[in-house]
Amino acid sequence: MILSLIPVLDFTCIFLIYYIYLTIPIQQVTSQETSLAANCRRVYAHAHDYHINSISNNSDGETFISADDLRINLWNLEISNQSFNIVDVKPTNMEDLTEVITSAEFHPSHCNTLAYSSSKGSIRLVDLRQSALCDTHSKLFEQHEAPGSRSFFTEIIASISDIKFSMDGRHILSRDYMTLKLWDVNMDSGPVATFQVHEYLRPKLCDLYENDSIFDKFECCQSGDGLRVATGSYSNIFRVFNCGAGGSEVTTLEATRNPTRRQIQNPARPARSLGSLTRVVRRGAENTGIDANGNSYDLSTKLLHLAWHPSENLIACAAANSLYMYYA
């Protein structure tokens, strides 16, 4: 009798399993995108009295520099509680201060060489082998003013906001407010090329000063082959210049999901907060206008940060809270 019930029990179990499979939902595991998170390994603190404007790794793989308005410090990557002051432009009396450090970078292959720029539009090349404190420079790069061209805004727009060495270390690229300049490290008489970024804003320097736009700090970058340079401007656009022999090509792109779209001639006025409205009423300056080509521009949207891939023809640029990457 017991033996005869075994087939019946087996059939009942199979039926129950099949019923559960059809009626009870089974949770399925789905693959998810991997998220990257950065962990802080070391904190290099209490070495600067002012905001840090530059950090640059050395080609020796062991040290790096950090720069603020008045000093450049040299760090060892493995030692976070000690640094060495290698450049100090702070005068004894702060009333005698005439210029500040705006950017600094190590040479890409010579670990003893670095360059830093100033608010007076000059670039100094420093050799760390000369002395512990580099009070003097080995080379000075600056463009002399044309006679009779000086104005109230001359020194302001001459301030260099960023410098970059080329991959081979032969050239230095600098960005001031109006132009992008390419310097040959073996020729300190003047830049070998000058590129106009937004010359249409020159008649509006007074308005740019009133709304503080003239103090915006734009970065610059150069392609790995050294044939092209790029920098940002207003309306979230950036310009790519050909610096090869006999090249004058200029490409303008807008940091947007559709970079080829044409700019609207008469855009609607953007909404302003109460604070910005008060600022405009107080200073009487507008953030929008029309450039020399009839295209609208907006001073409230600016592309300050961008970088070129060291070997690929790839540019990454940041506009507002978005990161855009362009490949050609």
Nearest-angstrom CA–CA distance, 176 and 295: 23
Contact (CB, 8 A) for 127 and 182: no
Contact (CB, 8 A) for 234 and 178: no
Please report, rounded to a whole number, the percentage of residues in the chain having pLDDT higher than 70. 78
Nearest-angstrom CA–CA distance, 221 and 180: 10
In the prediction, which pLDDT does 308 show? 96
Residue 241 CB neighbour total at 10 angstroms: 22
Instruction: Please give the model's pTM, rounded to 2 decimal places.
Output: 0.79
Reading the block at residue 238, the tokens are: 């950036």
Phi, psi for residue 9 in degrees, rounded to 5: -65, -40
In the prediction, which pLDDT does 267 show? 37
Nearest-angstrom CA–CA distance, 99 and 124: 13
**What is the rounded average pLDDT for all residues in the chain?**
84
**In this structure, what DSSP letter does residue 137 have?**
-
Grouping H, G, I as helix, E, B as strand and the rest as coil, residue 245 is coil
In the prediction, which pLDDT does 152 show? 86
- How many whole angstroms from its chain centre is CA 129? 30
Task: Give Cβ neighbours of residue 65 (< 8 Å, ≥ 6 apart).
Answer: 54, 55, 56, 58, 72, 73, 74, 75, 86, 104, 106, 114
Nearest-angstrom CA–CA distance, 48 and 254: 36
Which amino acid, 10? D
CA-nearest of 133, 136, 74, 84 to 125 is: 136
DSSP for 98-115, written as a single string? ---EEEEEE-SS-TTEEE
**In this structure, what DSSP letter does residue 320 have?**
T
Task: Give Cβ neighbours of residue 147 (< 8 Å, ≥ 6 apart).
Answer: none
Question: How many H-runs (helices) and E-runs (strands) does the chain carry?
Answer: 4, 21
Contact (CB, 8 A) for 266 and 235: no
Surface-to-core class of residue 184, CB atoms within 10 Å of its CB (0-12 exposed, 13-18 middle, 19+ buried) = middle
What are the tens digits of pLDDT across the range 160-199? 999 999 999 999 999 999 999 999 999 989 999 999 999 9
In the prediction, which pLDDT does 32 show? 73
pLDDT along the chain (328 residues), means of 10: 50 63 65 80 92 96 96 95 94 93 97 96 94 87 80 92 96 97 94 93 93 95 94 94 79 81 40 36 54 71 95 92 88
Nearest-angstrom CA–CA distance, 26 and 116: 63
Phi, psi for residue 20 in degrees, rounded to 5: -65, -40
What's the start-to-end Cα distance of the chain, in Å?
A: 82
| Sequence-ordered strand ranges (E) for 91-189 | 101-106, 113-118, 123-127, 139-141, 162-165, 171-175, 179-184
In the prediction, which pLDDT does 213 show? 94
Phi, psi for residue 213 in degrees, rounded to 5: -65, -25
In the prediction, which pLDDT does 271 show? 38
Nearest-angstrom CA–CA distance, 311 and 308: 9
Contact (CB, 8 A) for 287 and 269: no
